[in-house]
Amino acid sequence: MTPKYVAPSILAADFANLESEIKMVNSSDADWLHVDVMDGVFVPNISFGMPVVQAISKHNKKVMDVHLMIVDPDRYIKTFAQLGSNNLTVHYEACTHLHRTLQAIKAEGMKAGVALNPHTPVSLLKDVINDIDQVIIMSVNPGFGGQSFIENTYKKVRELKEIILTHNASTRIEIDGGVTDANAQELINCGADVLVAGSYIFKASDPVNTIENLKKLIS
């Protein structure tokens, strides 16, 4: 079995204590640090911008997994590379020339990802699947942490896994939104590789232990 990863989402952290929150993640079994950038246009919320990503990057020792929930993401590809992003994921719904955007992300030395809103079928990625390093299947409507997991996600993960296998692609499937110990195992069984978790980790009384348990559950 390919390795399974846990990616704490910094959106659920205490922003007044970002440095210690990042150090907690550094000291844990987490594999990636998920960083949600929202522009208030593509999604009905604004999270944080470049200065905060730079501050996160300064302390982070994990793979920095940036999820752009912004319109016209092409404008900022270079900037996010300079800020230390290892993975850069754009939304399918925000890109007119997705193939070009993916190539531009790779040209900056980052892993290129595509995120799909809950209503967007995975079949739309068939013709670019070999160009995608990670697909984020949104299991909530993007914009906010702490929402409930959408059950239809399991079906989408199974369908996407089938597409990846058919095309002999090495694309990772990442799940984002409402992930807890109640759905983690089933998501992995359906073909997921990376689980993003915000509230479940950062609101726990012992986040390091919660990450460790989640990792054990899916490994």
Interface with Zn ion includes 67 (CB under 5 A)?
Answer: yes
What is the C-alpha separation between 89 and 73, in angstroms, rounded?
9
User: Rounded distance, CA 202 to CA 206, Å?
Assistant: 8
For the question of residue 176 being annotated catalytic, the response is yes
The answer to whether residue 36 forms part of the interface with Zn ion (CB under 5 A) is yes
Q: Which is nearer to ligand DX5, 9 or 210 (CB)?
A: 9
Contact between 174 and Zn ion per CB under 5 A: no
Of 39, 133, 176, 193, which one interacts with Zn ion (CB under 5 A)? 176
- 73 contributes a contact to ligand DX5 by CB under 6 A: no
Do residues 202 and 12 touch, judged by C-beta distance below 8 A? yes
Q: How far is the CB of 69 from Zn ion (least distance, A)?
A: 7
Distance CA 92, CA 114 (A): 6
Write the Ramachandran bin of 117: left for phi over 0, alpha for psi from -120 to 50, otherwise beta. beta
Count the neighbouring beta carbons within 10 Å of the beta carbon of residue 75.
9
Q: Cβ of residue 122: shortest distance to ligand DX5, in angstroms? A: 17
Piece in contact with Zn ion (CB under 5 A), picked from 95-103, 163-171, 175-183, 211-219: 175-183
CB atoms within 10 A of CB 91: 24
Binding-site ranges for ligand DX5 (CB under 6 A): 9, 11-12, 34, 36, 67, 140, 142-143, 145-147, 176-179, 196-200
Catalytic residues: 36, 176
